[in-house]
Amino acid sequence: MSHVRTVYLDNNATTQTAAEVVASMLPFFAEYYGNPSSMHSFGGQVKARIDTARQQMASLLGADPEEIIFTSCGTESDNTALMSSLRSYPNKRHVVTTRVEHPAVLNCCQDLARRGYEVTFLPVDRQGNLDLNQVEDAIRDDTAIVSVMWANNETGVVFPVPEIAAMAKAKGAVFHTDAVQAVGKVPISLKDTQIDMLALSGHKLHTPKGVGVLYVRKGTPFVPYIMGGHQEHGRRAGTENVPYIIGIGRAAQLAQERMNDENTRVKALRDRLEQGLLKVEATMVNGDPARRLPNTSNVSFEYVEGESILLMLSDLGVCASSGSACTSGSLEPSHVLRAMGVPFTAAHGSIRFSLSYYNTDKDIDHVLKHMPEIITRLRQISPFWKKAQQTAKACATPGWTAP
C-alpha cells in the first residue's frame, strides 16, 4: 500500500466507514449471530436490534419505522421502486424521469423504453436545474411513476423534490426519488411531503458497502422485487444482513448529529477549495451555486483531459473523480454535463471534488498547492490549449476577422 498521505475528496463515490459504525457492527459477526427470523431468544434479540436500526433510520428521514425497508444498496432500492410501481399499475405504461439521473435509474428507464414503455427524459438547463413547468406538463393520466433524484451525484445540484412530488400526486402518479447523495447532507422530513418512495445507500453515509434502504409511504401500492421469505414484512426477501443493518442505523444517528457541521464547516471548506481553483485560468464551476449540496464541487479545467488530472492528483495522494464512479470505465464525457450543455472542451476536463465530515483545512491546502502546476503542465502538451491560445492571440490582432 502507498505511504503517500491520502487526501480523500471522492465522498460522492463512497465514504470512509465511521469508527462508531464499525464498533456497533462488530458484536453481530461472532457474538450475536442468530437469525432474526428464528423463534428462540438468541435470534429474537437480534431482531430487536434490527428494529432499533429501523427506528434510527426513520428518525433521520422523518418517517415511521414500518415505512423503512432494508436492501443491499441504492441501486436495488431504485430498481425496486420503479418496477413495483409498474407492476402495481399495469395499465399505466408511461414513466417520467430526468436526463441527469444516476445510472441506477437512468439505465433502468432506458431498458424499460426498449421493452415498450414510454419514458420521458426531462432536460435541464445550463445550471443543471429543471423547468418545473416542463415537469408538470410531462406528467399524464397514464404516468405510473415520476422518478427525480433529490441531488445530483456529479454536480451536487439539488432539485425541488417535495414540489415535484406534489405535482405527481395531483395527477395520480407515484413519486420516487433517488436520495443517495442528499440523505445526511440536507434536512429531510418525509412525513411533511408527498414522496411515495425514497432510495438511499449506506456507503454514502459512512457505512460499509452492501446495505441500502427503500422508504415506502404507508398506503403506497407495492409489489416486492425480490421474492422468497417473509423478511422485511414480506417486502424484501432474503436473510437480513444484520451487521450492516446495525451499522446503517448507527450511521443515521451520526448523520443527524453532524448535519450542522456538514452545512457549515464542510461547506466552508468546499467554498475555499472552489475559490482557489477558480484562480486558475479558463476554469469554471458546473451547477447552480445557490442550489447545491454543501460538500460537492464540479470544476471544469478547459482544454485538458480529466483522466490526466486525476492520475496526477493520485500520485500526490489526492482522490477525486471525473463523474459517477458507476460510469468510470467510460471515456465519454459525463452524461450530466452533456445534458447541461457544458462545452466539449470543458466537459472532458471536469473534476468532481466531494468532501465529508473527515476533511480538514490541510486537505484543501494540499490540493490548492498542487493543482495550478498540474493544469499548467497538462496545458503545455495540449493541442487544444495551444489552438485556443493562438485563436485568442489572433482575435487581439487589429484588423483580424473570423474565418
Question: Catalytic site residue 109?
Answer: no
Grid cell, residue 389, equals 491560445
Tally of CB atoms within 10 A around 229: 13
DSSP state of 325: G
CB neighbour list of residue 64: distance below 8 Å, 6 or more residues apart? 58, 191, 218
The C-alpha angle with vertex 199 and arms to 299 and 62, in degrees rounded to 5, equals 105
Q: Which of the following is catalytic: 108, 109, 326, 395?
A: 326
CA gap 208, 16 in Å, rounded: 8
Beta strand 197-201 with 212-216 is: antiparallel
DSSP state of 94: E
- Cβ 28 vs Cβ 46: under 8 Å: yes
- Torsion angle, CA of 276/277/283/285, rounded to 10 degrees? -90
CA gap 164, 175 in Å, rounded: 8
- Cβ 350 vs Cβ 321: under 8 Å: no
- φ/ψ region of 233 (left if φ > 0, alpha if ψ in -120 to 50, else beta) reads left
Catalytic residue ranges: 326
